[in-house]
Structure 1
Amino acid sequence: MGEDRRQLIRSLGFLSSVGISLVAACLIGLALGHYLDKWLDTTPWMTLTWLGIGIIAGFRNVYILTQRELRRQKQGEDDQDNDES
């Protein structure tokens, strides 16, 4: 039962980090674009451009975190297989 609980906590931590990473990248892109629009008087082009870049960066972060988690899980399974042998 302890191992199941530990796995649940790891999964919840992973999912929350994915969500935070996606939202943070989008908000940073939006804020940067809004600031540049105010400064350069280019409304709404910088906001839209930097929001798009933020969204792309957010999904890139999700991809990287997912790949890292899959490698960690695969390594854990390999370690379990070696322990059982």
Structure 2
Amino acid sequence: MKREDKKIWRAIMMISQIGITMMTPIFLSAFIGYQLDKWLNTQYWFIIFIVLGVCAAFRSVYIITKNFYLRDLKEEEAQQKYFDDLKKQRETCSDDNERYKD
């Protein structure tokens, strides 16, 4: 499998994981809030639990995407270091060549 294909599949998995991670706490907290309102004969637990569910969902998505992009950032930093080293070597070689010309 090509590297580009792996990145595409990894992105698709990330998108589906984000969707599931967003929906699960929201629906679960909505269900709990609805059941509490029904049981206690009130109307505010649903709203409270929806807000908590949304907060939990965004926190989970933040953690997942942070870890996902951390790997990409490390790869990017390694590539940048490699190119910086090549640039330094090229500059060193060009300086040496100029010395020998004179």
TM-score if structure 1 supplies the norm length? 0.84
Unaligned runs of 5+ in 2: 86-102
In the TM superposition, residue 82 of structure 1 has moved relative to its aligned partner by 7.2
Counterpart-to-counterpart distance in 2, 1:20 and 1:83:
38
In structure 2, the partner of 1:19 is 19
In structure 1, the partner of 2:71 is 72
Between the aligned residues of both structures, percent identity stands at 27
Unaligned runs of 5+ in 1: none
State the aligned residue count. Answer: 84
In structure 2, the partner of 1:9 is 9
In the TM superposition, residue 72 of structure 1 has moved relative to its aligned partner by 1.6
In structure 1, the partner of 2:97 is none
Does residue 40 in structure 1 map to residue 40 in structure 2? yes
Counterpart-to-counterpart distance in 2, 1:33 and 1:60:
20
In the TM superposition, residue 66 of structure 1 has moved relative to its aligned partner by 1.1
In the TM superposition, residue 76 of structure 1 has moved relative to its aligned partner by 3.1
- Higher relative contact order (Cα pairs below 8 Å, separated by 6+ residues): 1
In structure 2, the partner of 1:62 is 61
- Counterpart of 1:75, as a letter, is K
For 1:45-80, what per-residue CA distance to the aligned partner results, in whole angstroms no more than 9, with x for missing partners? 000100110011111111111111111212333455
Q: Which has the larger radius of gyration?
A: 2
Counterpart-to-counterpart distance in 1, 2:52 and 2:11:
28
Question: Could you say what the CA RMSD is over the residues aligned between the two structures, in angstroms?
Answer: 1.9
TM-score if structure 2 supplies the norm length? 0.72
In structure 2, the partner of 1:51 is 50
